[in-house]
Amino acid sequence: MDKRLLEIKKDCLQNKKKEEKKSNSLSYKRLLTFFIFFITICLYIYNHHNIILIISLLFFIIFIILVFCHNKVIKNIHKIDKYLEIITRYENRLTDKWQNETLNQEGEFDHPINDLDIIGDNSLLKYINFTNSIGGLKNLIKSLSLTNYNKKTILNNQSSITELKDKQSFILDFQYEISTIDNIKELNYSEILSYFNQKSQDNKIVLRISLILSAITIIIATLSLIHILPVYFFLCLALIQLAFTYFFSKKYQDEFSIIDKTARDLSNLNKLYQLIIQTTFTSENNQKLQNNIQKGQRSLIELTKIASLNSYRLNFITYIIFNVFFSLNFIIIHKYHLLLKHKITALKTSIQSLEEFEKLISLTTICFVKKQITLPIISDTLKIELKNIKHPLLKEDNCIANDFSCNKDINIITGSNMSGKTSFMKTIGINLVLAYNGAYVNASTFNFPITKLFTSINVKDDINKGISTFYGELKRIKDILDYSEKNNTPMIIFIDEIFKGTNYNDRILGAKETLKQLSSLNCIVFLTTHDFELCSIKNKIIKNYHFSEQYHQNRIIFDYKIKEGQCHTTNAKYLMRQMKIIK
């Protein structure tokens, strides 16, 4: 685990111990001062000596000060506990405890690359997820689903993540501040901001009339006070002004509600915004996000001011005074329309930038919990070069590293059951997903091309749609071939146990024809199979690799290392004998 995080944890534990000691001391002092205060009050009631009363009041003041100091210490302890809780979540990534975390994922994620365990239980999303808001989580899911990636976005993310991985204190502060926002897990800022899309007309003529009436009212009120005009002149005009403002407020009731609701939910972002604004960033992408948030904070401050004015409407007395003399309702709506016209876009952009920071911070997770990491290098040719690559969801010390490199090849991988064929493909695939997101990967070298990713691994049947496993596989292969006809983008394709859902003869026929078509495409293919016939296909771009096992004292031992050439062993009969299926 990252050394700096461990140092912060050590500091937190030491500070917590000091604060707890201070808390215990203050508790005793509070009790003692209150006891003395109580005794002196009793003595004063009995003797009525002023000196005793002064002493009593002095100890009461000391008691109040101690209460204030004690509450401050308790808040510090609570804050330290929050930091330790966040660090513990990182530590859980070193074991299997991260799998017990709850992921507030909405709906099902139906996408072919989920074959690589990207979304869902025990997935990459769950492993790296440190988002808090609904929008942040959705942003991370969208990014991991590879709906939109190119060289520019990858490099931007790389620069952001490289800088953030050295800002452990900022990341912890960020996660602490966002976790203190009430109901942050349920807040959908996109939904809140959608209220601002409602159309309403700003009537400047009505505002001017109201301001003129208010000015006249102030003048007549002044003249009434110095007895130049009768008081009923003022009262009549005040009633006209109140009636005018009442009917106006009825027309704009929705706007007043929106101001109150949005300000209440968004004002909690101020501390988080301030943290981001005060942090020094050198990455161009991080600076851009920071500038967006700085502009958004100005809009947020303006919204908060409007909401403060709106709060005077809730009190009967202030409602009358401010509407009679200062046209409160009209001014609030006018300021609200100015906000919509000039500043609301900045506020929306700042929320998006905040959710982007949430995503980027989640993508730094690998940096803090893995020993072997590297920033992937983008290759301009269709070539992969990997060294010491490991599966990021497995315990690193127990995971076997592999080296692999290939060009525009079809890589057929054979091996016995449980030897590591599918896991090897998933290891490459899941690290590729991280690489396409600009994140560090679990390897010492990772050179990769920017390609379209296709998988056919965990293909399932769908009884509701009448789709069998075999037909599902056919659809995946068809998608690949159709994509290649319409696009020039190179592809990386992962196919596990090709056409396993049909009989042997049809499987071999279909597999050979599929390999023939794939060999003419601009792609790298990883294909696992138990059908050794596919290994003997004569094609210069087809390469054979395998995983092997050894037998020792009636046990199978796998080394999980990929090797060149075709596998020549099987373990199916051995496993069936072990399970007493056959004799």
Q: What is the pLDDT of residues 507-527, one digit of tens each?
A: 888 889 999 999 889 999 999
Share of the chain above pLDDT 90, in %: 44
Q: How far apart are CA 510 and CA 514, in angstroms?
A: 6
Same domain, 379 and 517: yes
**Domain-embedded: residue 123:** no
Q: What is the mean pLDDT of residues 134-160?
A: 91
pLDDT tens digits, 343-365: 888 989 999 999 999 999 999 99
454 within 8 A of 486, measured Cβ to Cβ: no
Longest distance between any two alpha carbons in the chain, whole Å: 118
Segment holding 165, helix H or strand E: none
Q: Is the pLDDT of residue 74 over 50?
A: yes
Which is it for strands 523-528 and 410-415: parallel, antiparallel or unpaired? parallel
Rounded Cα–Cα distance for residues 114 and 256 (Å): 45
Task: Give the model confidence (pLDDT) of 293-322 as tens digits.
Answer: 999 999 888 888 888 888 888 888 888 888
Shared domain check, 412 and 334: no
pLDDT at 245 over 90: no
* Residue finishing a domain among 363, 379, 407: 363
- Asked if residue 413 belongs to a domain, the reply is yes
In a domain, 146, yes or no: no
Mean pLDDT of 483-499: 90
Q: Where are the beta strands (DSSP E) in 226-383?
A: 377-379
Examine the domain organization and report whether 286 and 412 are in the same domain.
no
Q: How many domains, in total, are found in the chain?
A: 3
Q: How confident is the model at residue 251 (pLDDT cuts 50, 70, 90)?
A: confident
Between 176 and 191, residue with greater pLDDT: 176
Query: According to the model, what pLDDT value does residue 462 have?
Result: 65
pLDDT of residue 106: 53
Residue at 34 is within a domain: yes
- Are 321 and 384 found together in one domain? no
C-alpha distances out from residue 541 to 68, 386, 520, Å: 75, 19, 10
186-239 tens-digit pLDDT: 778 888 888 777 666 666 777 788 888 888 888 888 888 887 878 878 888 888
- Domain match, 304 and 406 both: no
pLDDT class for 107, splitting at 50, 70, 90?
A: very low
Kindly report the CA angle at 166 between 164 and 169, in degrees rounded to 5?
A: 85
139 in a structural domain: no
Together in a domain, 357 and 392: no
* Higher local confidence (pLDDT), 574 or 509: 509
Tens of pLDDT, residue by residue over 422-447, are: 999 999 999 999 999 999 999 999 99
Query: For the residues 114-143, what does the mean pLDDT come to?
Result: 90
Mean of all residue pLDDT scores within the chain: 87
Stronger pLDDT, 335 or 370, i.e. the higher one: 370
Task: Identify whether the C-beta of residue 337 lies closer than 8 Å to the C-beta of residue 202.
Answer: yes
Counts of helices then strands in the chain (DSSP H, E): 20, 12
Q: What is the pLDDT of residue 556?
A: 76
One-letter-per-residue 3-state SS of 113-161: HHHHCCCCCCCHHHHHCCCCCHHHHHHHHHHHCCCCCCHHHHHHHHHHH
400: DSSP letter:
P
Check whether residue 464 and residue 527 sit in a common domain: yes
pLDDT at 384: 95
Q: Which of 397, 391, 382 is nearest to 491 (CA)?
A: 382
Provide the pLDDT for residue 160.
96
Average pLDDT over residues 383-412: 93
pLDDT of 576 higher than 60: no
CATH number at residue 480: 3.40.50.300
- Give domain status of residue 128, yes or no: no
Residue 151 lies in a domain: no
Task: Flag whether pLDDT at 21 surpasses 80.
Answer: yes
Last-in-domain residue among 363, 380, 405: 363
Question: Residue 398 is part of which domain span?
Answer: 371-578
Assess whether 422 and 535 both reside in one domain. Answer: yes
Q: Are residues 378 and 515 in the same domain?
A: yes
Query: Is the pLDDT higher at 261 or at 427?
Result: 427
Give the residue from 339, 363, 387 where a domain finishes: 363
The answer on pLDDT for 464 being more than 70 is no
Lowest mean pLDDT among 4-18, 24-38, 212-226: 212-226
Same domain? 359 vs 379: no
For the segment 161-179, the average pLDDT, to the nearest whole number, is 94
Over the stretch 80-106, which tens digit does the pLDDT of each residue have? 999 999 999 999 999 889 988 887 655
> How far apart are the C-alpha atoms of 241 and 128, rounded to whole Å?
59
Q: Is residue 462 part of a domain?
A: yes
Residues 422 and 549 in one domain: yes
Asked whether residue 268 falls in the same domain as residue 326, the answer is yes
pLDDT level of residue 466 (50, 70, 90 thresholds) = low
Amino acid at 103: L
Instruction: Choose the weakest-confidence range: 139-148, 287-296, 552-561.
Output: 552-561
